[in-house]
Structure 1
Amino acid sequence: MSVYIAHRLFAAHDRALAADLADRLASKVGPDRVFLPFCDTDEEDLVAEVKGRRLFELDRERLSHLGTMIAILHGPSLDDGVCMEIGYAAASGVPVVVLTTDFQTYSMTEAGTHLEFPDPLLQAVATRIVRVDNLGTPPLPLAPGRSRFQDFQTRNVVQTNTALDAAVDALLTLPDHASLPACPPGIIGTPVYVEASPYTAWGQDQLVKACVDAGHTVVVPQRFTASDPVAGALADLTAVRSAARLLVDVSGPETPPGSALLIGAALASGVRIAAFQPRMTFTHAHGREPNWRNLMIQYAADAHLDNGESVLSWLAT
C-alpha cells in the first residue's frame, strides 16, 4: 500500500496537520509507504527551470502510482488542488478516504438531501468519509490556573486527534480498488462537457452556445438539479471521463471544487481540457513562476482561454 496525503499546503497549520496524519499513518504502514506533498517534493528548496510545472509533474507521477489516498478537506471553501487530486485518483480506480471536521452539512435546495460537502461530486467519489464534527468533551471543572481559552484549545486538539486516528483506521480497512461506474461504450470522444463557474457572469449558456455554434455535441452538469445529487454527480463524472473535451470556467477565489475534481478526472482519462478564465489573477511563491490558478489546475489544462474568440479557436482545433 502506497498512501498519498492530499492537503491544503499554503499555511503552516495545514502542513502541520497533514504531517501529524502522515506520522500516525507511517507508524502503521511504514514511512516509505507514505507520501506527503511539499515535504516529499522538497518544495521549499526545489530548484527547477519552471518550478510550478516541475512540481505538477512530480505530483502527477506520484498520483499515477499510488495505492490509496487520504484527502483533508476543510469547510465550504475546498482547496482546488486537493479536489483535482481526488478526481485524478478516483478516475484511476484509487480508493479515497476524505477527512473533514466541518460541523456544517450542505444541500442543493433548502429542503434537499444533506451532503457532507458543498459539491456532491466529493461525496460521490469518496470511498469513505471520516467526519468528526464535534468538539472534544469540555473539562469539568475548569482546571486551576487555566483560562477558558486553553480549555477550548484542548477540546479542539482532542477533536483533531480523534479525526486523524479515525482516518488512519478507515484507510487500513479500505478495499484494494475504488468502485466507479464504467464509461459507457460507444460514446468516447464525442461530446464537449461544459462546466460553468458560479463566480462569473459569463456562464454556462454562453459557453454552450459557443460549442453548439462550432458544431459540437454538448453535455452539461446534472448534479445541481437532479433529485438525487449524488447520482447526478456520478453521471457528471461518467460524462466527463467519456467526453472528447472538458471546457471548464475556473473563475473564482479558487477553482470551484467540483470543477477542480472533474479536471483531475479528465486528466487521468486522457480528455482534452481547456480552462476558461476571463479575469485573470496570479499567485506568487518563492522561486516559482507566476501561476494564474493553482498549479495543479494550470498545468492539467491543455489551453487557457480568456475570451469568446479563444474558446472558438480551441474548439476548432
Structure 2
Amino acid sequence: MALYYVAHRLFAAHDRALGAYVAHHLARRFGPDAVFLPFCDTDEENLDHPCKGRRLFELDSERLARIDAMVAILHGPSLDDGVCMEIGYAAGRGVPVLAVTTDFQVYGPAADTTRRSPFPDPLLQHVVSRMISVPHLGPVGAEGDRFERFLAQNLHAVNRAVTEAVHALASELTSRPALPPAPVNGQRLAYLEPPLYGDKGWTAQVSDALRAHGIVTHHAGRFSNASEAAADWTALARASLAVVDVRGPETPPGAALVIGACAATGRPVFAPEPGCWWTFAHGREPNHRNLMIQYGLTGTFSDLDELTKRLEA
C-alpha cells in the first residue's frame, strides 16, 4: 500500500482543519492507513514526552523516510518553514511532491520581470513534481448573506484543489532523482545558502573560512538568476555538507528545503545561531525555530571559528 504524507501549516485551528480536510479526501480514495497527517497522527496535543519537540521530529521523520508521495499545502508569501523542510526531505529521497495552493499572487525578482514563479523561491518550483493552483473564487451563489456567499466561493476553490490533488495522486507522478548520499572521499564541497535578511557579505565570509580549511564552496545562485535553481540542486547533490542562514523572522523557504534534503541524505548542515524569539507550546521544550528546522540541523554556530571547529570534530 502506498503511503501519502500531508504537509501543512499546523499552528492554528484553520490550518489544521485544512490539513484534515485534505487528508479526509485522500483517505476516502486510498484508505485511512494510506495517509499520514502530522499533529493528528502523532497526537501532538496529548503526547507526553520529556523532549516532546524532538520526539515529534522523530515521528514525522520516520514517516518521511518511507512515504511514496507528499501533498504539500503552500499558501501565502511567507511559506511555512516546517512544510518546506518536509518538501526538501521528500525531494531529497526522490519522492514525488504535489504542491497545492489557492494563492492568487505569483512572484518575481523585480517589478518589470516577465519571469514569474508560483512560489517566492524558485528552488521550490524546481523540486516539486506537480503544482495544483486554484487562484480564483468559485461562482457566486444565491443563498445566504454576502459573507455566507463569499465563504461558499472560497470553499468551492478549496474543494476543487483537493479534488484535483486526489486525481493527480491516482495518476503517476514523476519526481527529480533522489540525491545521492553525502560523498565521503575526494575534495570536500560545501553548499552555501545565503541570508535573505541581514549581512549580505556573510556568504563570502563563510566561503573564505571554509576555503582556508580546504573546502570548496558553491554559492546558491538562483536569487540573482532564477534559472540557476537547477544548478543549485545539482550542487547540493555533489556537496558533502551545507551551511545555511536561518536568521531573521523565520527560516527562508529555500534554506528550509536544503535542511530537509540534507537530513534525508545524511549530509551535515550547519547554521548560525538564529537570534530570534523562542517558541513555547504545551508540554514541549522551548524551541528556537520550527522543530523540523531545529532538529534537522546538525548544529549551530555563534561565529566562524566555532563553525570550523565543528567541521574538524
Q: Same fold (TM over 0.5)?
A: yes
For the pair 1:119 / 2:121, whether they are aligned, the reply is yes
Alignment correspondent of 1:26: 27
What SS does the aligned partner of 2:14 have? helix
Alignment correspondent of 2:296: 300
Alignment correspondent of 1:101: 102
Alignment correspondent of 2:177: 180
What SS does the aligned partner of 2:72 have? strand
How far apart are residue 75 of structure 1 and its match?
A: 1.2
Size of the alignment, in residue pairs?
A: 309
Alignment correspondent of 1:209: 208
1:265 to 252, 261, 264: 261
Amino acid at match of 2:215: H
What SS does the aligned partner of 1:166 have? helix
Structure 1 distance, partners of 2:9, 2:219, is 29
1:256 to 243, 252, 256: 252
What SS does the aligned partner of 2:270 have? strand
For the pair 1:16 / 2:8, whether they are aligned, the reply is no
1:83/1:61 Cα in 2 relative to 1: closer, same or farther (>3 Å)?
Answer: same
**How do 1:284-299 residues align onto structure 2 when only pairs under 5 Å count?**
284-299=280-295
Alignment correspondent of 1:160: 158
1:3–1:34 Cα contact (<8 Å) kept: yes
Structure 1 distance, partners of 2:184, 2:311, is 22
* 1:276-300 Cα shifts (integer Å, max 9, x gaps): 1352321111111111111111111
Structure 1 distance, partners of 2:187, 2:281, is 37
Alignment correspondent of 1:283: 279
Q: Identity across aligned pairs (percent)?
A: 48
Alignment correspondent of 1:223: 222
1:186/1:233 Cα in 2 relative to 1: closer, same or farther (>3 Å)?
Answer: farther
* 1:90-113 Cα shifts (integer Å, max 9, x gaps): 110111100001111112333141
Alignment correspondent of 1:235: 231
1:266/1:182 Cα in 2 relative to 1: closer, same or farther (>3 Å)?
Answer: closer
For the pair 1:66 / 2:67, whether they are aligned, the reply is yes
TM-score, normalization by structure 2:
0.93
1:211–1:315 Cα contact (<8 Å) kept: no
Amino acid at match of 1:213: A
Amino acid at match of 2:273: Q
Amino acid at match of 2:189: P
Structure 2 distance, partners of 1:187, 1:88, is 24
Structure 2 distance, partners of 1:293, 1:117, is 22
1:189–1:243 Cα contact (<8 Å) kept: no
Structure 2 distance, partners of 1:102, 1:81, is 19
Amino acid at match of 2:308: L
Amino acid at match of 1:122: L
Alignment correspondent of 1:44: 45
Structure 2 distance, partners of 1:89, 1:182, is 10
1:71/1:278 Cα in 2 relative to 1: closer, same or farther (>3 Å)?
Answer: closer
Amino acid at match of 2:5: Y
1:107–1:114 Cα contact (<8 Å) kept: yes
Structure 2 distance, partners of 1:36, 1:240, is 29
How far apart are residue 87 of structure 1 and its match?
A: 0.6
TM-score, normalization by structure 1:
0.92
1:98–1:128 Cα contact (<8 Å) kept: yes
How far apart are residue 182 of structure 1 and its match?
A: 6.3
2:248–2:276 Cα contact (<8 Å) kept: no
Amino acid at match of 2:80: D
* 1:181-207 Cα shifts (integer Å, max 9, x gaps): 766999876211111221122632222
**Gap regions ≥5 residues in structure 1:** none
* 1:2-36 Cα shifts (integer Å, max 9, x gaps): 10000011000000001011111101100011100
**Gap regions ≥5 residues in structure 2:** none
